[in-house]
Amino acid sequence: MPKGNVKRGTNRLSKEKSPYLLQHASNPVDWYPWCDEAFDRALSEDRPIFLSIGYSTCHWCHVMERESFEDEGIAKLLNEAFICIKVDREERPDLDQLYMKAAQMMIGSGGWPLNIVLTPEKVPFYAATYIPPDGRYGMIGMSELIPRIAELWKKDRERIMRSANSLIGLLNEHRRPSESLPKEDILLQAYDEMVLSFDEKEGGFGSRPKFPSAHNLLFLLRYWKRQGDPYALQMVERTLDAISRGGIRDHIGQGFHRYSTDERWLLPHFEKMLYDQALLAIAFSETYQETKKEAYKEEAEAIFGYVLGRMRSEEGLFLSAEDADSEGVEGAYYVWTYDELSRILSPEELSIAEKVYNVEKGGNYRDESSRAFTGKNVLHMSAGLDEISKGMGMESFELKERLMALNSKLYENRSRRPAPQKDDKILADWNCLMVAALAIGGRCLASREHVDLARASLRSILGVFFKDEGHLLHRFRDKEASIEANIDDYAFLVWALLEVYDTCLEPSYLEMADKMIELSIKHFWDDADGGFFMAPGSRVDLISRQKDTYDGALPSGNSVMAYCLLRASRLLEKPGYEDMLEKMFKAFSEDLNEMPSAHTYLMMAYDAFVLPYSKLVIVGDIEDAKEMIEARDSLYLPHNNTILTDPKGDEGLFPKLTRELKQSNGRPTAYVCVRRSCMDPTCSPEDMKRLLLSVYESR
């Protein structure tokens, strides 16, 4: 291949499926996807690799592309000094995790775009996130950095290789398993850490930027149920109320933006991610199930409505994300000037928008970078509608009706704007998470529609991604499934199967979940030290195979698989799974002891692991037992395991002791069991509820 610049539209990314890679297909940079050809060329020409990792809805990735990768001069420098590789972090999360860890070791932080310089052997020796084209604000620019690294590569190779070899040693270091489980007060420590970081005034945890981190709220809900500490529930509700009112919520089109750049949840990064919608839908659904507050039910339903209306594919699956930018400007689709609103709304409606959505003539937010007022308004609420309506001297229902009409006008007008691009690739793990959310929502909100959608989407997932008896794929786009799956894909599929099972109580879903657990063990389990590697053993293009336990924007694959192993073990009476789980907790014991609040989903699994476990067995036909199932679904019962067995006691999936439980007087009969000891059976749904709640009171 010739060195130097390349003609636009001719780089190799034009043949890729990833929307992110396709965004860079017309760059003058001579990009390769991650492939053997790129590394072979780097070796033959003795050149380092410039690896740039991002994703299609990343604002600063767009900025760096416009400033540097579209610039002919900088592209020429890159093409002469490096072999350049682009990676979509959502297609290859294993690569992203590996090189993000390397970046954090080298520079103490990370983010996207992630730019790494590697040896031809894939070993990193330089890392940065966003790099401006020229030096500014104390940051080195691409125009200076590229020649400097090229010179270093030619004249001080020994120094580079020392650094690279040292780093590869660190990447391959893994903590040895502890001989003991996490310390006894680990759950209290996790809770105390969350209390210390909780923002009492604005809700959420820490200072800016603030992420919804819904799995933190799921942990707190379970802690509240376990300990009865009212502050745990208060933190959940305060946070959900705050994000429901804030600018992080799209009040016109529904759904939630990725995170807030300020403490008040006012100014978001405007991309909308499928996984955030799913996790928040679960949090709102479960909080409704526990509190019976209609606002949480309405919010969960609004999230589902957004996803089903805007993010569903023709295959019945779910798209990955909507971009933050439109017309080259972040958030342009979502913000309003006062004059725009004046033209669209009647004077009375404008007055309502001012009071409800805090609209100001001069705009209500500052630019994230310059801190200058933009003249634009992000719609947000300072209180709930009931409180606002009282201040306006009208009934709540009346304000809701007027707001619906106002929102409809704004939605219609906004729909005529150039819309943000959608990342229309379909990812197995994120889709499975959405299926789990639909199943949980169907159960908590008593919505048959959501249950049916969960089942239909699960059928589509298995049809698209599960191509043979032992092989799951990760990404689907343009009618093609590809890329070998990671542990997250398997773990989230098991989660989806277990949630659909728990909602429908059809053993086939549990049987499939058990099958996928066995495949996960085959492809990812570390038999020596415990835990699951992120990438399968068959993947040979990694310099180091990593395990992940950190519950960040998403719960980690290990955290989800731990909880799934526990649930499957107790439903199917498979002690081998619980033995593996104990090995996992010992493997990750030091990480958990150091900062349990960074592993809240894994903490949920540990909470269930150390509790005396409960099981509800209903003996009866699915239709006859409908009233009992609905009674169960009206209660928030974390860690509960439910089995519906055939009253004939036929051979089946469940343990013999479970199958031997009988009906009373030929009626659907419930047994509430703790470990392997069952209370007296009952045919009364109300008595069953009382017995179930007594299990939690006894803890």
Radius of gyration of the chain (CA): 27
Q: Are 306 and 277 in contact (CB under 8 A)?
A: yes
Instruction: Say which DSSP state 35 is in.
Output: S
Mean pLDDT for 534-557 is: 93
Mean pLDDT for 91-105 is: 95
Task: Give residue 216's pLDDT.
Answer: 96
Under the banding of pLDDT at 50, 70 and 90, the label for residue 649 is low
Residue that has been written with the tokens 């913000």 in this structure: 335
Q: Are 423 and 19 in contact (CB under 8 A)?
A: yes
At a CB cut-off of 8 Å and minimum separation 6, what does 327 contact?
A: 418
At a CB cut-off of 8 Å and minimum separation 6, what does 408 contact?
A: none
Under the banding of pLDDT at 50, 70 and 90, the label for residue 17 is very high
**What does the block give as tokens for 581?**
């789980």
Under the banding of pLDDT at 50, 70 and 90, the label for residue 369 is low
Closest CA to 444 of 312, 264, 637: 637
Task: Give residue 3's pLDDT.
Answer: 33
CATH of 188-327+423-610, one of 1.10.540.10, 1.50.10.10, 1.20.1600.10, 3.40.50.1820: 1.50.10.10
Return the percent helix, strand and coil in the chain, to nearest 5. 50, 15, 35
Q: Are 445 and 301 in contact (CB under 8 A)?
A: yes
Task: Give residue 4's pLDDT.
Answer: 36
Q: Are 491 and 513 in contact (CB under 8 A)?
A: no
- Asked if pLDDT for residue 8 goes beyond 50, the answer is no
Q: Are 429 and 489 in contact (CB under 8 A)?
A: yes
CA 345 and chain centroid, separation: 37
pTM above 0.85, yes or no: yes
Task: Give residue 6's pLDDT.
Answer: 40
Q: Under DSSP, is residue 116 helix (H, G, I), strand (E, B) or coil?
A: strand
* Pairing of the two strands 31-32 and 49-54: unpaired
d(CA 617, CA 678): 9
**What does the block give as tokens for 344?**
């669209």
Domain ranges of the chain: 12-171, 188-327+423-610, 334-416, 614-697
- Asked if pLDDT for residue 266 goes beyond 60, the answer is yes
Fold: same for 188-327+423-610 and 614-697:
no
Q: Which tens digit of pLDDT belongs to each residue from 585-635?
A: 999 999 999 999 999 999 999 999 998 888 999 999 999 999 999 999 999
Task: Give residue 661's pLDDT.
Answer: 87
Q: Which tens digit of pLDDT belongs to each residue from 43-62?
A: 999 999 999 999 999 989 99
- Asked if pLDDT for residue 161 goes beyond 60, the answer is yes
At a CB cut-off of 8 Å and minimum separation 6, what does 627 contact?
A: 668, 685
Task: Give residue 370's pLDDT.
Answer: 62
Q: Are 543 and 168 in contact (CB under 8 A)?
A: yes
Task: Give residue 371's pLDDT.
Answer: 65
- Asked if pLDDT for residue 36 goes beyond 90, the answer is yes
Mean pLDDT for 21-37 is: 97
Q: Which tens digit of pLDDT belongs to each residue from 199-226?
A: 999 999 998 899 999 999 999 999 999 9
Task: Give residue 650's pLDDT.
Answer: 63
- Asked if pLDDT for residue 675 goes beyond 90, the answer is no
Mean pLDDT for 35-40 is: 96
d(CA 36, CA 589): 38
d(CA 520, CA 533): 10
CB atoms inside a 10 Å sphere around CB 120:
18
d(CA 624, CA 633): 16
Q: Which tens digit of pLDDT belongs to each residue from 343-361?
A: 999 999 999 999 999 999 9
At a CB cut-off of 8 Å and minimum separation 6, what does 203 contact?
A: 235, 238, 239, 240, 241, 242, 243, 265
As its CATH architecture, domain 12-171 has: 3-Layer(aba) Sandwich (3.40)
d(CA 455, CA 555): 23
Task: Give residue 691's pLDDT.
Answer: 95
d(CA 35, CA 41): 10
Phi-psi map region of 328: left, alpha, beta (phi>0 left; psi -120 to 50 alpha): left
Q: What is the mean pLDDT of the chain?
A: 93
Q: Which tens digit of pLDDT belongs to each residue from 110-129?
A: 899 999 999 999 999 999 99
Q: Are 642 and 632 in contact (CB under 8 A)?
A: yes
Phi-psi map region of 423: left, alpha, beta (phi>0 left; psi -120 to 50 alpha): beta
Q: How far apart are the first and last CA of the chain?
A: 69
Mean pLDDT for 511-529 is: 96
Task: Give residue 5's pLDDT.
Answer: 39
Instruction: Say which DSSP state 68 is in.
Output: I
d(CA 455, CA 303): 18
Residue that has been written with the tokens 């799913």 in this structure: 278
Under the banding of pLDDT at 50, 70 and 90, the label for residue 1 is very low
Return the CATH fold of 614-697: Glutaredoxin (3.40.30)
